[in-house]
A and B are shown apart, each in its own frame.
Chain A
Amino acid sequence: MNALLETRGLSRDFGGLRAVDRVDFSLMPGEIRAIIGPNGAGKTTFVSLVCGRIEPSAGTIVFDGADITALPAHRRVRLGIAYTFQITSVYAQLSVFDNVALAVQRTLADGRSQGRLRAGVMEALERVGLADRAWLPAGQLAYGHQRLLEVAMGLALKPRLMVLDEPTQGLGDSEIENFIALAREIAASATVLLIEHNMDVVMQLAHRITVLEAGRVLAEGSPDVIRTDEAVQRAYLGGGA
């Protein structure tokens, strides 16, 4: 089976700082992959390169067999790469429905989905459990619900690769439980790339884990392998604990 996403020597410099350093990365279809690492390890920069939000300094990105390194972000979204923002970024003035409608409208225009706008929006909202709040202004939603709205907008894009950037940040325990169930459901129809600080969530969800440190891949493997990896322990999980 061919990888859905592959990067070769992917690098990004900010001035003198190399935020992402020659990363070779490969993601199989259907996988849930977590990216972990200390603050400033380059996790968000790495997924931003994948999504096209920033341009790489060197290296290539291949999605489903095609080189997308030079494609602008909106073209990558149309190919099926959806990104949910680390810092909640919904349209606060628009209703919850209209937020998701913008995503559905795009897939209808691209011919990636058929049917009616309203049905597409309500389906996405039902999957995250916000259907009963469809007509509220998004800015009036509780924080946890705004995070879910972010996910709903991603789902409505019918992605093949869903990039979730710290989706559980700021959520309560019960909300995190719900999120884990939701992420499993998303993984049934899309490959998931997850940046996450909460190690419980990572260990429960991820099929494989990539550990970044100082822009480089420090280790990669199944949750059990990563848990016992000495270098990872030193770099990230808190000394020799």
Chain B
Amino acid sequence: MNGTARLWLLHAAVVALLAALNFLLPAYHHGLMARILVLATFAMGYNLTFGYGGLLSLGHAMFFAAGLYGAGLGIHHLGLGVPAAFLAALACGAALAFLAGVLALRTTGVAFMIVTLMFSQAFHLAILYFSAFTGGDQGLVLRPQQRRIETMLGTLDLTDPTTRYLTALALFSVVLFAMLAIVRSGFGRVLVAIRENEERTRMLGYDTFASRLAALVASGTICAAAGAAYGLLFGYVGANFASVQYSILPLLWVLLGGAATTLGPLFGTVFMYYVVDIASGYTSAYMLAVGVILILLVLFFRKGLLGTLRERWLGWLP
């Protein structure tokens, strides 16, 4: 079996395992995993710029929220159907990422962190300010009848737990395989090359700005897809998803799972979500557990779970 076949098989096996969990998990964990799959998709989008592109953004909550509100407002105000709302969300994410990228990518490093953070804060405050339109800090609730897809084969009801889980898994799988294809493509190699040595890459004839912008637009679109799915599957569109917390969470998930690994965002999100879930059963200071884990990560697994695994034993992991 050659390397490429092995990789596709490995990723297909992960997707198959997640599909099997749909039938095995008890109700509580079933709901939790559906949420995690959507958030892991968000993390994969973040990983494209942070892990592979080497761009530390503190503004990705903006792209998640662009999807969330793009879909939510489209349904609430324009009466869009679910598929149209989803496409509108993708367009919002891509357009916002393009605009933010054209301006923010003139900077790198700390300045890039600050600029993306400012954009994201401005976006958050704009949502709160236009409360007549967005529902402000109350947010919007999408009614069950607004979360149905009428197809020729019947109605797909996104409020049904199994449909919800499988829809989340479908989105996750599409993005996972897209990520695998991207990072193994010429574009993915150039992105890593820019991260490793921008000046050298420029002197090989690559337009490094254009490559980074393309990566950010792809990343923003994926994050918006996750945001839209979150709103459509769980029925709530809220301003707290645009807050700085939701810019930092994908960073932590990716760091925990392994930056610049295709499967790391999934493992990081699952791990952290369950740590918070379990710890909050014992204490209200559950962030303490997160803090301890992050310290252990920095001390012993500096490249995250999968990054360390790849470095020590499995060099072929993408």
**Contact surface of A with B, Cβ cutoff 8 Å:** 51, 53, 72-74, 77-78, 82-83, 85, 89-94, 98, 101-103, 105-107, 109-110, 153, 157
- With an 8 Å Cβ cutoff, the count of chain B residues facing the other chain is 17
Write the chain B residue with the least CB distance to A76.
B205
Asked whether, in the complex, the Cβ of A106 is within 8 Å of the Cβ of B197, the reply is no
A102 in complex: contacting residue of B190, B199, B207, B208, CB < 8 Å: B190
Picked from B186, B192, B200, B205, the residue with its CB within 8 Å of the CB of A110 is: B205
B199 contacts across to A, CB distance below 8 A: 53, 89
| Partner among B192, B193, B207 whose Cβ is within 8 Å of the Cβ of A74 | B207
Query: Which residue, A51, A102, A110, A153, has most C-beta atoms of chain B within 10 A?
Result: A102
**Are B204 and A157 interface neighbours, CB within 8 A?**
yes
Q: Which residues of B contact A109 (CB under 8 A)?
A: 186
Cα-based distance from A98 to B193 in the complex (angstroms)? 10
**Would A102 and B189 be within 8 Å (CB), given that A74-B206, A77-B204, A83-B203 are in contact?**
yes
How far, in whole Å, are A157 and B201 apart by their CA atoms in the complex? 12
Q: List 18 A-B contacts (CB under 8 A).
A: A74-B202, A74-B203, A74-B206, A78-B205, A83-B203, A89-B199, A90-B197, A91-B193, A92-B196, A94-B196, A102-B201, A102-B204, A102-B206, A103-B204, A105-B190, A107-B205, A157-B204, A157-B205
Interface bits B234-261 vs A (CB < 8 Å: 1, else 0): 0000000000000000000000000000
Contacts of B189 in A (CB 8 A): 98, 101-102, 105
Contact with A along B175-211 (1 / 0, CB 8 A): 0000000000010011011001101111111111000
- CB closest residue in chain B, given A92: B196
Whether the pair A106, B205 counts as a contact (CB closer than 8 A) is yes
Asked, given contacts A91-B193, A94-B196, whether A106 binds B206 with beta carbons under 8 Å apart, the answer is yes
**CB <8 Å contact, B196 and A73:** no
Partner pick for A93 among B190, B196, B201, B205, CB 8 A cutoff: B196
Interface centre among B186, B202, B205, B206 (most CB of A within 10 A): B205
- Nearest residue in A to B207 (C-beta to C-beta)? A74
Contact B204 A73 (CB under 8 A): no
Residues of B within 8 A of A93 (CB): 196
Q: Nearest-CB distance from A76 to chain B (Å)?
A: 8
Residue in contact with A53 in the complex, picked from B186, B201, B203, B206, CB distance below 8 Å: B203
Apart from A73-B203, A85-B200, list 9 A-B contacts with CB within 8 A: A73-B202, A83-B203, A89-B200, A90-B200, A91-B197, A92-B196, A101-B189, A109-B186, A153-B204
| Cross-chain contact of B197 among A74, A78, A89, A110 (Cβ < 8 A) | A89
| CB within 8 Å for A51 and B203 given contacts A94-B196, A102-B189 | yes
Contact partner, A106, options B192, B196, B204, Cβ 8 Å: B204
With A and B bound together, what is the CA distance between A85 and B203 in angstroms?
Answer: 9
- Separation of A78 and B202 alpha carbons in the complex (Å): 11
In whole Å, how far is B191's beta carbon from the nearest beta carbon of chain A?
A: 11
Determine the distance from Cα of A94 to Cα of B190 in the docked complex, in whole angstroms.
12
User: How far in angstroms is the closest Cβ of chain B from A18?
Assistant: 24
Q: Tell me, in angstroms, the Cα distance from A195 to B193 when the chains sit together.
A: 27
A72 to B189, CA, bound (A): 22
Q: A residues within 8 A CB of B204?
A: 77, 102-103, 106, 153, 157
Q: Which residues of A contact B192 (CB under 8 A)?
A: 94
Contact of A91 among B196, B202, B208 (CB under 8 A): B196
Give min CB distance, B130 to chain A, whole Å: 40
Residues of the A chain whose Cβ atoms lie less than 8 Å from the Cβ of B207: 72, 74
Give chain B interface residues in 60-98, CB to chain A under 8 Å: none
Cα A230 to Cα B201 with chains together (Å): 42
Tell me which residues across on chain B come within 8 A of A51, comparing CB atoms: 203
- In the bound complex, how far is the Cα of B197 from the Cα of A103, in angstroms? 14
